[in-house]
């Protein structure tokens, strides 16, 4: 894995986008992996290491997360900028096609890009996200996203992540520690905080409502795989089933005992995604 960065243009000037590059020099259709709202590209280390045997894999830290700096204008945090940054990242590959794996927010970006004419997305994996998001799920996210808790040490960070992200499913101690190591930022006083700009939660403040963008989903034509935790509140079972009938007629794979969202860290989940990308 090599850390790289590009300069992207937003409404208020240029900003860096940092990403992990895997499998440089490998052939095959490259894969872009994009994380959820408060997470970062290092969530995909296990998946990327496997896929890098066959192709290049790029895992960006979207603006304000991980190693990508916070935006100067918090109002720029939104899908128009995320889509523009993703397009700039794809352009660095110099290819006509990419495969896309998106968890939650990353899946929304993928859906929006795949719905556009001439989209370079060949195959699309949507990890626990669809074109309808219930108000109650957004309110749950709004209950913690945008807060800025402080921690005395990495152990406290890990304990917090284990509690907030318990729906990720049964992870090993090493996997939880991996999320903590890459999901915090150090403070000048020696303390710890979460590894994202609290301003990314501004959109979840105030009155919430259901969100739907079926019109975009219905324009997607590439092969699509939907992963759904059976306990998920962001991707209701009825929405997931409807996704198999509309738009690209997605394949659906449900994971029992998991909520939002499957971590894509265990061998079974990784193998299923890899098989889909291979056309199996």
DSSP state letter for 227: E
Residue 40: the pLDDT is: 98
Percent of residues, the chain, with pLDDT higher than 90: 93
Q: Supply the CATH classification number for the domain 2-134+211-277.
A: 3.40.50.1820
What distance, in Å, lies between the first and last C-alpha atoms of the chain? 27
Q: For residue 204, is pLDDT > 90? A: no
Q: What is the DSSP secondary-structure string of 142-190?
A: HTTTT---EESSHHHHHHHHHHHTGGG----HHHHHHHHHHSEEE-TTS
Q: For residue 203, is pLDDT > 90? A: no
Please compute the mean of the pLDDT values over residues 150-174 and round it to a whole number. Answer: 97
Q: For residue 197, is pLDDT > 70? A: yes
Q: For residue 280, is pLDDT > 70? A: no
Burial 41-56 (b: 16+ CB within 10 A, else e): bbbbbbbbebbbebbb
Residue 102: the pLDDT is: 98
Dist. CA 85–CA 141, nearest whole Å: 24
Give the largest Cα separation in the chain, rounded: 54
Number of neighbours of residue 212 by Cβ within 10 angstroms: 14
Helical spans, DSSP H, in the chain: 45-51, 79-91, 105-114, 135-142, 154-164, 173-182, 214-217, 237-245, 267-277
pTM value surpassing 0.95: yes
Mean pLDDT of the chain: 96
Backbone torsions φ then ψ of 181, nearest 5 degrees: -60, -40
99-131 confidence digits (pLDDT tens): 999 999 999 999 999 999 999 999 999 999 999
Dist. CA 267–CA 50, nearest whole Å: 10
Please compute the mean of the pLDDT values over residues 203-207 and round it to a whole number. Answer: 83
Tokens matching residue 188: 């000048």
Residue 143's pLDDT band (cuts 50, 70, 90): confident
27-50 confidence digits (pLDDT tens): 999 999 999 999 999 999 999 999
Q: For residue 206, is pLDDT > 90? A: no
Number of neighbours of residue 138 by Cβ within 10 angstroms: 19
Angle between helical axes of 154-164 and 173-182 (0-180°, round to 10): 110
Residue 239's pLDDT band (cuts 50, 70, 90): very high
Identify the CA nearest to 143 among candidates 38, 254, 239, 242: 38
Q: For residue 190, is pLDDT > 90? A: yes
Residue 270's pLDDT band (cuts 50, 70, 90): very high
């Amino acid at each position: 894995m090599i850390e790289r960065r590009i300069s992207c243009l937003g409404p208020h000037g240029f900003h860096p986008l940092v990403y992990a590059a895997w499998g440089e020099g490998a052939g095959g259709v490259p894969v872009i992996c994009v994380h959820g709202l408060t997470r970062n590209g290092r969530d995909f280390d296990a998946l990327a290491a496997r896929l890098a045997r066959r192709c290049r894999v790029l895992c960006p830290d979207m603006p304000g997360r991980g190693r990508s700096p916070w935006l100067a204008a918090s109002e720029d945090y939104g899908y128009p900028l995320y889509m523009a940054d993703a397009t700039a990242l794809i352009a660095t590959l110099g290819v006509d096609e990419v495969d896309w794996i998106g968890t939650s927010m990353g899946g929304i970006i993928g859906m929006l890009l795949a719905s556009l004419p001439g989209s370079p997305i060949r195959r699309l994996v949507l990890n626990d996200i669809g074109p309808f998001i219930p108000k109650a799920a957004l309110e749950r996210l709004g209950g913690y996203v945008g807060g800025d808790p402080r921690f005395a040490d990495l152990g406290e960070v890990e304990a917090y992540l284990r509690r907030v992200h318990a729906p990720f499913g049964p992870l090993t101690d090493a996997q939880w520690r991996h999320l903590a190591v890459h999901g915090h930022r150090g403070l000048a006083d020696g303390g710890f905080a979460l590894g994202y700009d609290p301003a990314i939660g501004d959109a979840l403040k105030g009155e919430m409502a259901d969100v739907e963008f079926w019109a975009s989903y219905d324009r997607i034509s590439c092969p699509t795989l939907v992963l759904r935790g059976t306990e998920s509140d962001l991707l209701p079972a009825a929405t997931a089933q409807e996704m198999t009938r509309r738009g690209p007629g997605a394949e659906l794979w449900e994971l029992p005992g998991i909520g939002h969202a499957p971590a894509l860290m265990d061998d079974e989940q990784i193998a299923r995604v890899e098989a889909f990308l291979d056309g199996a």
